[in-house]
Structure 1
Amino acid sequence: MIETKPQRVLVVEDDRKISNLLQNYLRASGYETEAEYEGCNALAHIKRQVPDAVILDWMLPGLDGINVCKAVRAFSDVPILMLTARIDEADRLMGLDIGADDYVCKPFAPREVIARIRALLRRANGKVKSSTKSWEIHEASFRISWRGQWLPLTRIEFMMFRLLLSRPNQVYSRDQLLAAVHDSQRDISDRAIDTHIKNIRKKVHAVDHDQDCIVSVYGVGYRFNSTD
């Protein structure tokens, strides 16, 4: 029988009593938990390793929850449940508008928080199960996500990586890669291809340390070596 790894929930709440309470309920419900108590540290934590879900307090020291949520949405679709003491509808709607998936007003019943997290994870799991790929291409925004994190690609890097991803394990020559970015930058040199590929590798490696997905084929070009 294959054991399923527990889903990991990051609790970002500066009140340690509330944080501990939520973590106790989450663990009792079968989740792994981690905690951060300040906005900047929480953002760094999520960039380093995206959890399965985030419980995010609105009022945090340093970087507040709204700005943490905005920053996270620039690179990840991780489910975010916001905790807020604000009861004004406009404030709650603002949280949803900037990317939160749901919110709970303080004071709250811990069981309600668990139920909402369970619902968010169920919806997120449905999306994940629709594709087994490590990556997802977002054509409209010229972005590529890798294991749920947005890669900070330039437009040229996006176009090259998109071509490689379009046919995994197929070798593309430098001429083909040049053609893929021709409309974007007509004077790009043949040797610049190597630099852009190197940059793409670094950006993927920053998210997935054990991944060396772009393989050099001596005298020919490059291929995306898919293991999915």
Structure 2
Amino acid sequence: MVNSPLVQGTKLARRFGTGSTAFVALHDTDLTIHQGARIALTGPSGSGKSTVLHLVAGLDRPSSGILSWPGLDNPEHHPGLVGVVFQSPSLIPALDVVENVELVSLIAGVSPVQARARATAALSILGLMSLADQLPEELSGGQAQRVAIARVLAGEPRLILADEPTGQLDRDTAAHVLDILEAAADSSGAALVVATHDPVVADRYPHRWSIEDGRLRTDAAATIHTAPEQDR
């Protein structure tokens, strides 16, 4: 049985600038992400991994092509349905840890009581409750990244996009955090896409996407394929 698609894109491209100075971050690409997918997105720095994730999350718009979320509605209207772990933690400096974690639930319309319950549960899972009252400036880089992951989990998303989520973590902590992300995705049936340059991380997932110079390549079994390049 084939899972229903969460995200679909046709001939997606992302260009920055115009004319002779234009930079193509993503060449024409067709893609589909299904419910429950487990995908590693690999490629060198600057290859386009973040561009792909930002488009899929609805945080950026393609320069051309059609992108839709048939299994999610539009993430701009339902922000809790897509959770993004960014390369940098992106915590709000004026909010303490528990306030940062509950924020995504509040934005999604969850009641304050339920949002706080979700936040404390996510922090507990990641062993961070002792930091609940601290401000982001009081955290180490690794602690801040784990708080950002707790924030995603608290939102109970149906699609989790993680951009180098283990870059600031030691090997053991990274493995623990990935275990938690995968368990959360398994329990809710969410899809999980992890962008990484670490082959140990990539080897955890059954499907592999790779990107270089904005050109996406995948294994034969993956739920995405690259459209033929157009003459330029």
Fold match by TM threshold 0.5: no
Greater strand share, structure number: 2
